[in-house]
Amino acid sequence: MTRDQAQARPPEVLLDAPAVRAIDERLARAGLLELVMEEAGRAVAQAALSLTAHGFATHGRVLLLAGGGANGGDALVAARHLHAAGLDVQVLAQPSRHPLTRANRARLRAVGVQPALLTPAALGRALGLTGPVPALVVDGLLGTGFRPPMRQDLAHLVTLLNAARDRHALTVLAIDLPSGLDAASAALPDVTVHADHTVTLGGPKPALVYGPAAHAAGQVRVAGLGVPHAWVDAHAVARRPHDDTVAALLPQRHADAHKGDAGRVWIVGGHAGTVGAPVLAGLGALRAGAGLVTLHSAESGVATLAVTQAPELMARTHHDPGAALAAELRAGRRPDAVALGMGLGPDAAHLARQALTWQLPTVLDADALQPDLAGAGHAQVIWTPHPGEAARLLGVTTPDIVRDPIAAARALQARLGGVIVLKGGPTTIASDDGVNVSRGGHPGMASAGMGDTLGGILAALLAQRLPAPQAALCGVRLHARAGELAGDRHGYGLSASDLSSELGHAWKILTDAHPRNLLR
């Protein structure tokens, strides 16, 4: 690890229910669990206070709903802090057997706040059916230990809350995650609290990162709990590196660099009707810093289009691309990286298997993603499926992939080898180093050609000597950041070419924000 990497902030971690249980058990053994609940409740209270300071009257009532578990205990602690801050606090709570939750209920009573029993009638009154509506509702009903389906009595309470939110434009703040979500799943159950804000504790849960479940969470903020990062990181289901980590990994060039130093990329793709795919990949590779990019195809239209779109791209047409490229390799003309599959058509499976025998840094995309390549990957291969392609590779349905992208990326990596870039919003990256989840992006990126561009970016980074896990991490973030910039410039509907034109700017923003000595 370089000094720059060592100085980067620790990555944000994603936690599922088993991870939270393991951390709680470690805290309990250390005698810290009660202190952490106090810290969690304080963080929730601070979030509530910041919301009341931005748009709510300070004399407005804050309604807190406390379930019977630890999530309810966090709500009770938050109520005590809000009461101490001078807010009008109302608490509706379910009975609890959780010792810390019971203890915090007693503490709340001791400072003069008497929780009432949470029933449908009490909740209806508190939500304004027969009186003033609250300024803020805090959802502390269910936490990470919940698994759908929801009990009927709780479902009734959640339905009442959502109806009141819609009717009165109530603001809802969820503790850890909105009640009703499965912490590990991107699925959105029929009965779930729809929150405007969520304070998640220790680290985001997958349900807060992946849609459609994330749509129920509103704006998410992460509250640290004073727990050593190593304790949390040891149980992370995935990590979300910050941009300073990405900046520290990006290639650096000497002042006397030339195009041969910057990496030679072969892009193998194109078929009748899809000649644009390899050209888009080539543009992505050029904009991501590759020194020399050559397009290889059996379709002559690829070369014709390349000349008009980017004369910097070299293009060769082959009757048999596999044989032609094998001859190039035998003659000692080896690229630094290969990207294969973009619009390649029916020859893709054969060419992909052949390319994997070359033992070169390789990106396999689109038509090259074939189930019969299982086990053929090596450490310098990056596979880039979207959910539909991932489903085909694993022999499952697309909803199975979308429901749990982290598990899907792990399964793909175990089956194929190398590095998996499971595309989506966000993208999930799985390697022998673990699972990383991307940041950023723009909804306008949901258009044709974006994956081709990403394949070219990844190949360019591989050609610049980045190991595959680091190339995947950097390439995905550069792609997303360029999409954000293209969105700022063009608005909602974006083309892949719009994104490519912003790649240099995205690189500059990342490195300017986290400067290094680029000319050594």
Report how far residue 445's alpha carbon sits from residue 285's, in angstroms, rounded to the nearest whole number.
Answer: 18
Question: How far is residue 39 from each of residues 293, 371, 502, measured CA to CA in Å?
Answer: 54, 48, 42
Q: Of 293, 244, 312, which is closest to residue 462 (Cα–Cα)?
A: 293
Residue 370 near residue 495 (C-beta atoms within 8 A): no
User: What single letter denotes the amino acid at residue 290?
Assistant: A
Residue 64 near residue 95 (C-beta atoms within 8 A): no
- Those residues whose C-beta lies under 8 Å from the C-beta of residue 57, and which sit 6 or more positions away, are 135
- Per DSSP, the three-state class of 61 is strand
- Per DSSP, the three-state class of 441 is coil
Cα pseudo-dihedral 468, 474, 476, 478, rounded to 10: -150
Report how far residue 78's alpha carbon sits from residue 120's, in angstroms, rounded to the nearest whole number.
Answer: 22
Sheet holding 88-93, edge to edge: 116-117, 88-93, 61-66, 136-140, 172-175, 197-201, 219-223
Task: List the binding residues for (6S)-NADPHX.
Answer: 70-74, 143-149, 176, 277, 343, 386, 452
Task: List the binding residues for K(+).
Answer: 71, 139, 179
Place of tokens 């990207």: 339
Task: List the binding residues for AMP.
Answer: 423-427, 451
Residue 243 near residue 509 (C-beta atoms within 8 A): no
Report how far residue 30's alpha carbon sits from residue 1's, in angstroms, rounded to the nearest whole number.
Answer: 31
- Those residues whose C-beta lies under 8 Å from the C-beta of residue 182, and which sit 6 or more positions away, are 146, 147, 148, 189, 207, 213
Report how far residue 154's alpha carbon sits from residue 468's, in angstroms, rounded to the nearest whole number.
Answer: 47
- Per DSSP, the three-state class of 77 is helix
Task: List the binding residues.
Answer: 70-74, 139, 143-149, 176, 179, 277, 343, 386, 423-427, 451-452
What are the backbone dihedrals phi and psi of residue 77, each rounded to the nearest 5 degrees, phi first?
-65, -45
Asked whether the CA dihedral 391, 397, 403, 408 is positive or negative, the reply is negative
Own/partner long-range contacts of 295-300 (Cβ < 8 Å, ≥24 apart): 295/267, 295/269, 295/270, 296/266, 296/267, 296/268, 296/321, 296/324, 296/325, 297/268, 297/269, 297/270, 297/271, 297/321, 298/270, 298/271, 298/347, 299/270, 299/271, 299/272, 299/275
Report how far residue 221's alpha carbon sits from residue 203's, in angstroms, rounded to the nearest whole number.
Answer: 9
Q: Of 322, 287, 324, which is closest to residue 502 (Cα–Cα)?
A: 287
State the number of CA atoms in the 13 A half-sphere of 330 facing the CB.
Answer: 6
What are the backbone dihedrals phi and psi of residue 9, each rounded to the nearest 5 degrees, phi first?
-65, 145
Place of tokens 């001791």: 110
